[in-house]
């Protein structure tokens, strides 16, 4: 009698559970997500949460104590060095597991496994670039070195010790929201993470865009639009440095002029690209220039700004060394920091180490390709890409002597190229020992140790600034770079002829460097490493302006204090505007401007050249420059292929400063010949229109216009920080753009007791439900620093220590 | 006189049984309510979230109540449990995460909406499970 209602209500219950446990009907499994004992509520960390814990792990050889301070920075004290890496792995996983796995999945071309088919293009791109291939080579190199292998094994074991004790409730919130589970960590994942950094820092190339530019423009116009020389360049290693004759003699192929430079081949394709703006500043003032008499080292690497941050701050203390600084969740050791004797910092040495070769296959099977007048056998690497809720995608990638054939008719990134095949030669495919470099830097006691350490760093090439307690300072443009003939790899090269291959690597002792220079400081800001007397070809893509202002300031400064360095590191002075504004003010025809135009011109005139948050000058200048660039170059580029390099700001500015009747000022679409004054006035009128709209939206002040944001790694807006009032810009030392900028600011004064300051735009916890998720952001926004505390044994009772974790075997 | 006495006795009996009935019904309701809540907390320590349905089903099958009342028992029990648990967790968190998650899920910045929806979801599942249990007992 009551059977029917019983079955009915049981069916309703089951239906409810299935609906609330899956995304069948609702966009999210609400029951699973909102259950107070399982779901997202479990990620809502108690504001007074304690991090005191005791652990027993048989993998440990001895005791490890971790003291967490009031900013949640762990100070790890281990009796055995490898135990320190185990605990580092454990802590990275405890606070940052989701980002570690996301970044390594992205690096491995496995994003489709998590988010489905929409990531397939990304995954194929990464597989075809050879990211996993490169990581496997790297892993072999890492595991061949006993030190690196031991540290990675311990690190991996630490990460897995955390993962294997994870309950559903303790899963990072992103796993719950997206609906997947973490997998065990491996040394390969560490290698993948490092390749991800190589992709970010050493994979930038414009070969396709430049090939199109070369094809479209006449050689004379091309040289004018894309000069390899920068008038305003102040190289990392100063002009006038004498270089010995090169040990590696490179020869341009006999056919270079006819086949390579003169080749007119229009390609239409676009690829995923790392941010071309990945830059950084570092500098060291020697004791002679500082108030204390001790060197001060400063570093701020500029990277994409994300939450959780790329960086995790910590101290590692073992009987062999005691080091503090920024670490990468995903790898052992401290990456940028200081120990009891030395300090170091890095900027990217963005040389072109990714080149393309056009491959001629015998037939569609791609089994053989024409190379040095013979058919050569192809090797294939089968890439199986798992896709969520769909069958696997199998990609058969051909490998040649150059590397993987990244582009072919089945894969063009996002556009069709026709029937051509392009193999990619990328320096990151070669073995590199970056982990050994950092491990040895962590142990370094002096300049010799630093030199021995950094020469292990091959890719990504970095400018390593260095300072030691004994007063030594140094800068080394470090990496293993191909020795190229002039113009090699600027465009796509023929792949049928070994004479176009990289002919050798620049020997380590020929890398430009400076050790205790007379000028009393060293610096780098991604500008060209050396001037044209350096005997190897350096390519053309380097930003000159930040280096210029840094060197100007350091030259003028004396009796420098760390506070002076803080002011300098957060300086919003725009040296590019300093050079370009007079050009506008001198040439503008004020009579042709309307009321608004005159008002904006007045603001531009009065501007003190600082990109401060409440200034209107930077907004006006920025809009005006964009309009000016467009007025000057739009006509020339109107019929150009869409995928083409745009001339650098420095090329346009240098061109006009050099020659006020610069060829491209004339609008080729009108019968009259336009002058600089015509273009500047036209640009100002166009800028006025746009500025009026911005003013209407209350976006005339710089911070509002720039709208700096720190995105959550999965772009979940409520987990991001938007509209931050931050000044600066591309050409300022404070190079904060809309979602890119100083990802870690550090200042180390190597006085007898080291004093250091630092801050990064994030927080130690990766959990959006923790107050430690983004608690450094406001400090970073206002240009303030935290003292970096190198804790000593015996200071366990210090008031800054809030929690203790004890690890034993 | 006798009539009056009888009337009084009848009246007293009537009141007594009503109160007694009321008391046993009331007790059953309270006992079920508390049992469902306590057993749900215990079950969710080890089992998936939907173990609350299993708990509500078993409790209402073992303690017979009118189906409507059973539904209410399960509903109110988990409404109070999940509501108070999530409120307690969230207030200790200064509602930091609830602000963000309510924006993420419902495009509305309201921790209390998130707490309310949490409570309602649990309540509905437990209510229907309890109803099924009650019907099973009667069938």
Q: Please give the radius of gyration of chain A, using alpha carbons only, rounded to the nearest integer.
A: 28
What pLDDT does residue A429 have? 95
Among B58, B89, B138, most A C-beta atoms within 10 A, so best to mutate, is B89
Give the orientation angle of helix B2-46 with respect to helix B111-138, to 10 degrees. Answer: 120
Among A4, A5, A29, A41, most B C-beta atoms within 10 A, so best to mutate, is A41
Would you say A661 and A673 are in contact if contact means Cβ atoms under 8 Å apart? no
Pairwise pLDDT comparison (A539 vs A680), residue with the higher score? A680
Query: How confident is residue A113, by pLDDT bands cut at 50, 70 and 90?
Result: very high
Report chain A residues whose CB lies below 8 A from the CB of B47: none
Phi, psi at A806, each rounded to 5°: -110, 125
Interface residues of chain A, partner chain B, Cβ below 8 Å: 1-3, 5-6, 9-10, 12-13, 16-17, 20-21, 28, 30-48, 168, 173, 177, 716-719, 768-771
Report chain B residues whose CB lies below 8 A from the CB of A715: none
Calculate ∠ Cα A48-A744-A470, nearest 5°.
110
The DSSP output letter for A270 is B
Report chain A residues whose CB lies below 8 A from the CB of B106: none
What pLDDT does residue A3 have? 82
Query: How confident is residue B20, by pLDDT bands cut at 50, 70 and 90?
Result: low
What pLDDT does residue A412 have? 75
Using a CB–CB cutoff of 8 Å, tell me whether B36 touches chain A: no
CA distances to A402, A548, A606, A622, A702 from A618, rounded to whole Å, are: 46, 19, 11, 6, 6
pLDDT of A414 > 60? The answer is no
Q: Which of A5, A32, A718 lies nearest to residue B49, judging by beta carbons?
A: A32
What residues are paired with A67 via a beta bridge? A75, A804
Give me the residue spans of the domains in chain A: 575-706
Instruction: State how far the Cα of B58 lies from the Cα of B55, in Å rounded to an integer.
Output: 5
Q: Which of A9, A38, A769 lies nearest to residue B44, judging by beta carbons?
A: A38
Query: How confident is residue A416, by pLDDT bands cut at 50, 70 and 90?
Result: very low
What residues are paired with A746 via a beta bridge? A299, A758
Q: Which of A41, A44, A718 lies nearest to residue B104, judging by beta carbons?
A: A718
What pLDDT does residue B91 have? 97
Give the orientation angle of helix A617-637 with respect to helix A649-658, to 10 degrees. Answer: 80
Characterise A179 by phi-psi region: left (phi > 0), alpha (psi -120 to 50), beta (else): left
CA distances to A140, A291, A399, A452 from A382, rounded to whole Å, are: 20, 61, 11, 39
pLDDT tens digits along A426-458: 999 999 899 999 999 999 999 999 999 999 999
Among B47, B98, B101, most A C-beta atoms within 10 A, so best to mutate, is B101
Instruction: State how far the Cα of A769 lies from the Cα of B102, in Å rounded to an integer.
Output: 12
Q: Which of A17, A36, A44 lies nearest to residue B93, judging by beta carbons?
A: A44
What residues are paired with A405 via a beta bridge? A423
- Coil, strand or helix at A616: coil
What pLDDT does residue A264 have? 74
Instruction: State how far the Cα of A98 lies from the Cα of A713, in Å rounded to an integer.
Output: 10
pLDDT of A275 > 80? The answer is no
Positions of E strands within A212-290: 280-285
pLDDT tens digits along A672-715: 999 999 999 999 999 999 999 999 999 999 999 999 999 999 99
Write down the H helix ranges in A249-381: none
Would you say B96 and A44 are in contact if contact means Cβ atoms under 8 Å apart? yes
Contact A5/B86, CB-based, under 8 Å?
no
Contact A9/B131, CB-based, under 8 Å?
yes
Instruction: State how far the Cα of A656 lies from the Cα of A661, in Å rounded to an integer.
Output: 7
Q: Which of B114, B121, B129 lies nearest to residue A20, judging by beta carbons?
A: B121
pLDDT tens digits along A357-372: 999 999 989 999 999 9
Would you say A479 and A511 are in contact if contact means Cβ atoms under 8 Å apart? yes
Instruction: State how far the Cα of A474 lies from the Cα of A465, in Å rounded to an integer.
Output: 6
ipTM for the predicted complex comes to: 0.90
Q: Which of A2, A28, A768 lies nearest to residue B139, judging by beta carbons?
A: A2
The DSSP output letter for A647 is P
Torsion on CA atoms B46, B52, B54, B55, rounded to nearest 10:
90
What pLDDT does residue A685 have? 97
Pairwise pLDDT comparison (A683 vs A389), residue with the higher score? A683
Q: What is the mean pLDDT of chain A?
A: 93
Closest CA to A437 of A302, A335, A317, A562: A335
Phi, psi at A54, each rounded to 5°: -125, 130
What residues are paired with A801 via a beta bridge? A69
The whole domain housing B20 covers 2-138
Instruction: State how far the Cα of A261 lies from the Cα of A264, in Å rounded to an integer.
Output: 8
pLDDT tens digits along A741-794: 999 999 999 999 999 999 999 999 999 999 999 999 999 999 999 999 999 999
Among A19, A31, A36, most B C-beta atoms within 10 A, so best to mutate, is A36
What residues are paired with A513 via a beta bridge? A476
How many residue pairs from chains A and B have C-beta atoms closer than 8 A? 126
Q: Which of B50, B100, B135 lies nearest to residue A6, judging by beta carbons?
A: B135
How many distinct helices (H) and strands (E) make up chain B?
5, 0
Query: How confident is residue A205, by pLDDT bands cut at 50, 70 and 90?
Result: confident
Contact B103/A38, CB-based, under 8 Å?
no
Phi, psi at A558, each rounded to 5°: -150, 165
Contact B97/A39, CB-based, under 8 Å?
no
The DSSP output letter for A624 is H
Contact B128/A40, CB-based, under 8 Å?
no
pLDDT tens digits along A289-308: 999 999 999 999 999 899 99
Antiparallel, parallel or unpaired: β A354-359 and A493-494: parallel
Report chain B residues whose CB lies below 8 A from the CB of A772: none
Query: How confident is residue B21, by pLDDT bands cut at 50, 70 and 90?
Result: low
Q: What is the DSSP string of A381-394?
A: EEEEEEETTEEEEE
Q: Which of B49, B90, B139 lies nearest to residue A35, judging by beta carbons?
A: B49
What pLDDT does residue A602 have? 97
Closest CA to A747 of A607, A562, A589, A619: A562
pLDDT of A614 > 90? The answer is yes
What proportion of chain A, given as a percentage, has pLDDT over 90?
Answer: 83
Query: How confident is residue A268, by pLDDT bands cut at 50, 70 and 90?
Result: low
The mean pLDDT value for A656-683 works out to 93
Antiparallel, parallel or unpaired: β A53-56 and A801-808: parallel
What residues are paired with A605 via a beta bridge? none
Report chain A residues whose CB lies below 8 A from the CB of B117: 30, 34
Task: Provide CB contacts within 8 A for A410, sequence distance 6+.
Answer: A395
Using a CB–CB cutoff of 8 Å, tell me whether B94 touches chain A: yes
The mean pLDDT value for B62-67 works out to 90
Q: Which of B82, B93, B128 lies nearest to residue A47, judging by beta carbons?
A: B93
The H or E element spanning position A356 is strand A354-359
What pLDDT does residue A270 have? 56
Contact A31/B41, CB-based, under 8 Å?
no
Counted domains in chain B: 1
Query: How confident is residue A1, by pLDDT bands cut at 50, 70 and 90?
Result: very low
What pLDDT does residue B31 have? 92
Characterise A520 by phi-psi region: left (phi > 0), alpha (psi -120 to 50), beta (else): left
Residues B93, A743, A276, A450: is their CA dihedral positive or negative?
A: negative
- Encoding tokens for residue B28? 């059953």
Report chain A residues whose CB lies below 8 A from the CB of B97: 40-41, 43-45, 173, 768-769
How many distinct helices (H) and strands (E) make up chain A?
22, 29
Among B58, B85, B100, most A C-beta atoms within 10 A, so best to mutate, is B100
CA distances to A336, A691, A696, B126 from A616, rounded to whole Å, are: 36, 10, 14, 60
pLDDT of A418 > 90? The answer is no
Would you say A749 and A296 are in contact if contact means Cβ atoms under 8 Å apart? yes
Closest CA to A344 of A773, A777, A754: A754
Would you say A768 and A98 are in contact if contact means Cβ atoms under 8 Å apart? no
What pLDDT does residue B85 have? 97
Contact B49/A716, CB-based, under 8 Å?
no
- Is pTM beyond 0.90? Reply is yes
CATH fold, domain A575-706, is 1.10.1400
Would you say A615 and A701 are in contact if contact means Cβ atoms under 8 Å apart? yes
Report chain A residues whose CB lies below 8 A from the CB of B99: 718
Q: What is the mean pLDDT of chain B?
A: 89
What pLDDT does residue A415 have? 43
Lowest mean pLDDT among A461-465, A540-544, A575-579, B64-68: A540-544
Contact B117/A48, CB-based, under 8 Å?
no
Q: For A5, name the nearest residue in chain B, comparing CA atoms only.
A: B135
Q: State the nearest Cα–Cα gap between B20 and chain A, in angstroms.
A: 27
- HEC readout, A98-131: HHHHHHHHHHCCCCHHHHCHHHHHHHHHHHHHCH
């Amino acid at each position: 009698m009551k059977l029917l209602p019983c079955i009915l209500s049981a069916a309703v219950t089951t239906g409810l559970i299935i609906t609330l446990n899956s995304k069948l009907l609702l966009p999210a499994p609400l029951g699973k997500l909102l259950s107070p004992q399982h779901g997202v509520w479990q990620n809502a960390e108690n504001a007074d949460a304690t991090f005191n814990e005791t652990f027993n792990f048989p993998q440990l050889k001895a005791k490890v104590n971790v003291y967490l301070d009031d900013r949640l920075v762990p100070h790890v004290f281990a009796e055995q060095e490898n135990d320190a890496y185990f605990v580092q792995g454990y802590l990275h996983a405890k606070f940052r597991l989701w980002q570690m796995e996301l970044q390594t999945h992205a690096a491995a071309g496995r994003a489709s496994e998590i988010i489905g088919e929409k990531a397939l293009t990304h995954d194929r791109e990464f597989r075809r670039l050879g990211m996993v291939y490169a990581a496997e080579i790297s892993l072999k190199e890492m595991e061949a070195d006993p030190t690196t292998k031991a540290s990675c094994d311990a690190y991996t074991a630490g990460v897995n010790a955390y993962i294997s004790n994870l309950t559903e409730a303790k899963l990072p919130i992103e796993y719950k929201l997206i609906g997947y589970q973490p997998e065990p960590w491996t040394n390969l994942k560490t290698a993948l993470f490092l390749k991800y950094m190589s992709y970010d820092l050493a994979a930038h190339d414009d070969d396709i865009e430049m090939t199109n530019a070369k094809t479209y423009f006449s050689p004379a116009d091309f040289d004018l639009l894309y000069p390899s020389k920068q008038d305003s360049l102040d190289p990392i290693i100063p002009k006038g440095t004498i270089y010995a004759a090169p040990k590696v003699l490179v020869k341009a192929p006999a056919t270079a002029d006819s086949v390579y430079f003169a080749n007119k081949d229009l390609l239409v394709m676009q690829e995923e690209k790392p941010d071309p703006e990945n830059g950084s500043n570092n500098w060291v003032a020697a004791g002679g220039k500082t108030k204390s008499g001790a060197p001060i080292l400063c570093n701020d690497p500029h990277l994409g700004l994300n939450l959780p941050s790329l960086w995790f701050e910590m101290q590692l203390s073992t009987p062999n060394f005691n080091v503090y600084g920024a670490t990468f969740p995903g790898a052992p050791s401290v990456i940028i920091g200081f120990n009891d004797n030395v300090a170091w910092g890095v900027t990217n040495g963005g040389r072109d180490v990714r080149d393309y070769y056009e491959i001629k296959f015998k037939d569609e099977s791609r089994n053989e390709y024409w190379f040095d007048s013979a058919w050569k056998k192809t090797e294939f690497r089968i890439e199986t890409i798992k896709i969520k809720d769909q069958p696997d995608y199998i990609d058969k990638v051909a490998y040649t002597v150059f590397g993987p054939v990244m582009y072919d008719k089945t894969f063009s990134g996002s556009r069709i190229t026709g029937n051509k095949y392009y193999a990619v030669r990328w320096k990151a495919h070669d073995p590199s020992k970056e982990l050994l470099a950092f491990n040895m830097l962590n142990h370094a006691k002096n300049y010799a140790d630093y030199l021995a350490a950094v020469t292990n760093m091959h890719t990504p090439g970095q400018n390593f600034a260095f300072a030691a307690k004994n007063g030594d300072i140094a800068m080394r443009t470090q990496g293993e770079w191909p020795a190229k003939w002039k113009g090699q790899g600027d465009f796509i090269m023929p792949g049928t002829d070994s004479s176009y291959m990289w002919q050798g690597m620049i020997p380590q002792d020929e890398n430009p460097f400076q050790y205790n220079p007379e000028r009393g400081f060293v610096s780098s800001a991604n500008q060209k490493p050396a001037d044209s007397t350096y005997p190897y070809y350096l390519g053309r893509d380097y930003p000159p302006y930040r280096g210029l202002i840094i060197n100007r300031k350091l030259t003028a400064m004396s009796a420098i204090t760390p506070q002076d360095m803080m002011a300098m590191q957060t300086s919003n002075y725009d040296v590019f505007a300093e050079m370009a504004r007079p050009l506008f003010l001198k040439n503008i025809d004020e009579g042709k401007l309307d009321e608004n135009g005159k008002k904006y011109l007045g603001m531009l005139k009065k501007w003190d050249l600082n990109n401060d948050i409440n200034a209107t000058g930077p907004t006006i200048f920025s809009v005006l420059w964009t309009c000016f660039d467009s007025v000057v170059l739009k006509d020339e580029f109107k019929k150009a292929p869409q995928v083409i390099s745009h001339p650098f700001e420095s090329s346009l500015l240098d061109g006009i400063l050099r020659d006020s009747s610069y060829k491209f000022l004339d609008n080729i679409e009108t019968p009259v010949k336009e002058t600089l004054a015509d273009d500047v006035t036209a640009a100002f009128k166009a800028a006025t229109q746009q500025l009026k709209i911005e003013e209407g939206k209350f976006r005339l002040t710089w911070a509002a216009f720039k709208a700096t944001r720190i995105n959550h790694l999965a772009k979940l807006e409520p987990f991001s920080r938007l509209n931050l009032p931050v000044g600066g810009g591309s050409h300022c030392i404070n190079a904060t753009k809309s979602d890119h900028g100083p990802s870690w600011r550090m200042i180390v004064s190597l006085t007898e007791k080291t004093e250091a300051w630092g801050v990064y735009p994030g927080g130690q916890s990766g959990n959006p439900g923790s107050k430690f998720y983004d608690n450094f952001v406001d400090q970073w926004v206002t240009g303030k620093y935290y003292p970096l505390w190198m804790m000593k044994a015996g200071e366990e009772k210090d008031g800054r220590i809030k929690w203790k974790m004890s690890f034993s075997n | 006189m006798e009539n009056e006495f009888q009337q009084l006795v009848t009246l007293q009996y009537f009141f007594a049984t009503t109160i007694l009935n009321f008391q046993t019904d009331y007790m059953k309701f309270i006992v079920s309510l508390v049992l469902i809540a306590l057993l749900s907390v215990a079950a969710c320590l080890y089992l998936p979230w939907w173990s609350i349905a299993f708990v509500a089903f078993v409790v209402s099958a073992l303690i017979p109540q009118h189906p409507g009342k059973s539904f209410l028992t399960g509903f109110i029990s988990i409404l109070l449990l999940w509501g108070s648990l999530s409120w307690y967790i969230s207030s200790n968190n200064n509602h930091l995460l609830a602000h963000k998650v309510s924006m993420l899920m419902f495009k509305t910045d309201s921790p209390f909406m998130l707490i309310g929806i949490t409570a309602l979801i649990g309540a509905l599942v437990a209510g229907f499970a309890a109803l099924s249990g009650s019907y099973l007992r009667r069938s």
